[in-house]
Amino acid sequence: MRVFDRIAPFYDGMMQDIDYDGWIDYLVEVMKKKGFKGRKILDLACGTGNSSIPLKKYGYDVVGIDISLSMLREAGKKGVSLVYGDARVLPFKDSSFDGVISIFDSLNYIMDDGELLQVFRSVRRVLKEGGIFLFDMNTPFGLRMIALQGDEIREGEDFFSVWRHSYDEETKEITLHLVVFERNGRGWIRYDEVHREKGRTKAEVFELLEHAGFSSLSAYANFTFRRPDGRTKRILYVAS
């Protein structure tokens, strides 16, 4: 079973404090700054579709793709156009999209550099000439700060969840032990998942993007137009 499969029905409840509309507002502002004129966008690792919906409100033709069928089932309830697939081998023809986005550190889940390079090459292949790729990633500093926050508890009407983080300084990886309790009559059903993310520096990400064939690269401290520095927690990358 893949990560997110068990928690898909509770995911939106756990993420209710995330401003997806504001996130997409920012990406659209970046795209305008870069002179983006396209209309067809691939939402890579779209999850339950919360990033696809505001893109559609802007008038873009959006297709969401994810490797978790459970998350896609939740997204399907929202009227999002969806495809099941692996980001490393995208199931689309060459030059299918004007733009590709991926938000909320989805690509941090790619632990192996070789596999992340596969993702970048796959994205490059499905982008039209002059197309744009926007994605964010947590930095090693950002993952370290998440771990230092300690345990978290998030609750909804029918569930509560416990989040426990640990960070490995040597590998720059964070491990999240997630326990979700679903109300079941007078009792509870417990689900356990382990999530892992790898932090990478801007230089490391740029090197992989260049190997994948991207030539124009930018990086911003997320939600700003400032250059990232050593204390930047999350970086937005723009590649074309």
Stretch 223-227: mean pLDDT = 98
In the chain, domain spans: 8-139+200-239, 141-197
Stretch 138-154: mean pLDDT = 95
Stretch 127-142: mean pLDDT = 98
Q: CATH classification of 141-197, choosing from 3.30.830.10, 1.10.10.10, 3.30.420.40, 2.20.25.110?
A: 2.20.25.110
| Tens digits of residue pLDDT in 63-113 | 999 999 999 999 999 999 999 999 999 999 999 999 999 999 999 999 999
Dihedrals phi, psi of 5, to nearest 5 degrees: -60, -45
Q: Look at 88-97, 167-176, 186-195 and tell me which has the smallest mean pLDDT.
A: 186-195
Which range of 12-21, 118-127, 154-163 scores highest in mean pLDDT? It is 118-127
- Is the model more confident about 3 or about 109? 109
- Asked whether residue 185 carries a pLDDT value surpassing 90, the answer given is no
Portion of the chain with pLDDT greater than 90, in percent: 88
Class of domain 8-139+200-239: alpha beta
Unique residue bearing structure tokens 């740029």 = 206
Average pLDDT, whole number, for the chain?
A: 95
Please give the Cα distance from 72 to 22 (Å, whole number).
Answer: 22
pLDDT of residue 1: 54
Please give the Cα distance from 189 to 212 (Å, whole number).
Answer: 44
Q: List CB contacts of 80: < 8 A, sequence separation 6 or more.
A: 46, 49, 52, 53, 56, 62, 64
- Asked whether residue 22 carries a pLDDT value surpassing 60, the answer given is yes
- Asked whether residue 157 carries a pLDDT value surpassing 90, the answer given is no
- Asked whether residue 3 carries a pLDDT value surpassing 80, the answer given is no
| Bridge partners of residue 44, in order along the sequence | 65
